[in-house]
Amino acid sequence: MIKLIIDCFGGDKSPEANIDGALAALEKYADLELVLSGDEGIVSKKLEGRAYDRARLSVLHAPEVIGCDETPTVAVRQKKESSLMKAVELLRTDGTVHGMVTTGSTGALVAAATLRLGRIPGVKRPAFCPILPTMAGGVVGVCDSGANVEVTPLMLCQFAVMGSLYMESMGVKSPRTALLNVGVEETKGDELRKAAFPLLSSLESVNFVGNMESRDFLSGNYDLVVCDGFSGNVLIKTTEGTAMELLKKLKKDIFSKTIYKLGALLMKRMFADEKDFMDYRNYGGSVLLGCRKIVVKGHGSSNAVSVEKCIEQAYRMQAASVNKRIRESVAELSRFTAD
Amino acid sequence: MIKLIIDCFGGDKSPEANIDGALAALEKYADLELVLSGDEGIVSKKLEGRAYDRARLSVLHAPEVIGCDETPTVAVRQKKESSLMKAVELLRTDGTVHGMVTTGSTGALVAAATLRLGRIPGVKRPAFCPILPTMAGGVVGVCDSGANVEVTPLMLCQFAVMGSLYMESMGVKSPRTALLNVGVEETKGDELRKAAFPLLSSLESVNFVGNMESRDFLSGNYDLVVCDGFSGNVLIKTTEGTAMELLKKLKKDIFSKTIYKLGALLMKRMFADEKDFMDYRNYGGSVLLGCRKIVVKGHGSSNAVSVEKCIEQAYRMQAASVNKRIRESVAELSRFTAD
């Protein structure tokens, strides 16, 4: 049995999307058990009349909600009865619970994970690893996408190890792992990249394929991109922003002439597919790798499908023993005493 | 009279595109004088039978070419007879020549500009400032996009000052200047960004509007983005890569069904416009700001239109006395003695 706790509040479409996603995942996996964290009155009411396996679903009462505009460290200290903090506390104290999913405040999650949950022994810093679709039909992971704006070469190596194990659990065999850089040559980049390159090359547990220019991010030639959280954040948000703005422009241009509208009518299905393809909510959430337990952060605007995908990510990570394998693999890195 | 030297070799479509672009610019601006740098025999042959004002065009013989695969520092030292080095030398020694345009090796250009041409007094490091189209119909500049992978807060301030003066010369009044960061709040980012924010806010010559997330890069809300060369490089290449990959995907999807092909036929003109819109060659080159003379680097794949735009950029910079104004404005920064 794999047991997860779902934070049902904090997202734009919560609690409905979170509860619907949870019930869908429960239906899909017979060996999945879920705990829903949130106001018991509200959650129970939403569950009324719904068909699900009652033996595998319970509610953990948490009357408070942490908003996205609250200062993370303050909220984490003061809102102990919030759905997020109750979830983290259960995760911390209950050995039978393997992971959690939340669509709430990223800052509060990172603060709570760091202050309360703790890291896997040997891991320097937890790192976010979101997944994006490539134009070749596959997916590509990015680690770190924003948890650590300042990193060391050893941390980049740990991101590579953790990200690789995670991508493997998502079904990618021997993930082709690249270092985000300003050019593909080994000598490119700043001191951080130059120091990290030989270390990454020496890792036996990572299929390191060299530097990657961000131009090739969506090409399908890479399965995992390793970077500091600052440039990783730029990489992800630029990709999402460019795709979104281009779709908006296409739409505007289509409506500028009748003949274009006519043409677009014939291509309606295709444009709907493109929109779906670019909707990051269809690719689940961003995993916070390196925590003692599995932590998946869904987008704030997650719908039920997205929440279900997030739960599936946590489920598959546990099924593949990702955290156990991270603990074993970071030991390999202990020989890098540089930092 | 504004006098520029055009490096006619080194680009994918050189020398034809460079010569054609030069003649077009010459036709457009009556007070423009051009020197073409390159093998005199080849260039003269290409000019045969063309109509142009001979009094305003001359050729500087340079029999060698620096390839894009050559090690910049070695090429700069050894190929003194190359079209690039001859152009830089003329720029350095001839007080009547205001600037240069090249579509050759970026690395060799930066090396030559640093080693031979030198900086405007007070400027710490030259920085690239390319221009991209926004979805609002305008343009946005990025400084630095890759010349300096490691920077200081003072350098970011200089990029803001130089970039603002440049964008003004391109017709943007009081350019809305933002700092690339992982969030819009003042407290976001690494030590570099946190240190730079108050300095940028205090600059009287810069219309600093705060932090920008890369998601909003193409929104049209910003005229200039200031960043280190590493994340600036990621920003530019991710934008170009995402746009290119999406267009490729659209094309592939259109050809997957007859009805889509039919629809696309009605929208043929629109798709051609979108492709043009996203073709970075239509927006000229990347200016290397901070050098003693004006330096414009066109894309390696520049066609004649692109070369003409690059020449126009240099022309407008000289007409607006950008370098003189940079020299005056960096003096304002001398009070930041932090680095």
Tell me the whole-structure pTM to 2 decimals: 0.93
pLDDT tens per residue across span A32-47: 999 999 999 999 999 9
On whether residue B100 sits in a domain, the answer given is: yes
On whether residue B330 sits in a domain, the answer given is: no
Q: Give the C-alpha separation, B191 to B198, whole Å.
A: 12
Note whether A236 and A174 are same-domain residues: yes
**pLDDT given for residue A339 in this prediction:** 46
Q: Which two tokens stand for residue A277?
A: 């393809």
Phi-psi region of B146 (alpha: psi -120 to 50; beta: other; left: phi over 0): left
Note whether A259 and A114 are same-domain residues: no
Note whether A159 and A295 are same-domain residues: no
User: Which among B70, B262, B267, B268 is the top mutation candidate for probing chain A, defined by the most A β-carbons within 10 Å of its own β-carbon?
Assistant: B267
Residues spanned by the domain of A168: 125-287
On whether residue B181 sits in a domain, the answer given is: no
For chain B, say whether A187 makes contact (Cβ under 8 Å): no
Residues of B with Cβ-Cβ distance to A180 under 8 angstroms: 234
On whether residue B212 sits in a domain, the answer given is: no
Note whether A32 and A119 are same-domain residues: yes
On whether residue A332 sits in a domain, the answer given is: no
Q: Which two tokens stand for residue A253?
A: 């241009």
List per-block mean pLDDT (blocks of 10 residues) for chain B, which spans 339 residues.
97 96 97 98 96 97 92 92 97 97 94 93 95 92 96 96 97 97 92 96 95 96 98 97 91 91 90 84 90 96 95 97 95 65
Q: Name the phi and psi angles at A204, rounded to 5.
A: -75, -30
Residues of A with Cβ-Cβ distance to B229 under 8 angstroms: 182
Select from A246, A249, A264 the Cβ nearest to the Cβ of B267.
Answer: A264
Q: Give the C-alpha separation, A158 to A160, whole Å.
A: 5
Note whether A137 and A267 are same-domain residues: yes
Contact B182 A146 (CB under 8 A): yes
What's the structural domain count of chain B?
A: 1
On whether residue A329 sits in a domain, the answer given is: no
Give SS3 for A195. helix
Q: Give the C-alpha separation, B255 to B248, whole Å.
A: 11
Note whether A112 and A145 are same-domain residues: no
Note whether A228 and A156 are same-domain residues: yes
Note whether A132 and A251 are same-domain residues: yes
Check if the beta carbon of residue B127 is closer than 8 Å to that of residue B144.
yes
**pLDDT given for residue A274 in this prediction:** 86
On whether residue B74 sits in a domain, the answer given is: yes
Look up the ipTM and state it.
0.92
Check if the beta carbon of residue A155 is closer than 8 Å to that of residue A147.
no
What's the CATH number where B104 sits? 3.40.718.10
**pLDDT given for residue B54 in this prediction:** 95
On whether residue A6 sits in a domain, the answer given is: yes
Q: Give the C-alpha separation, B84 to B66, whole Å.
A: 7
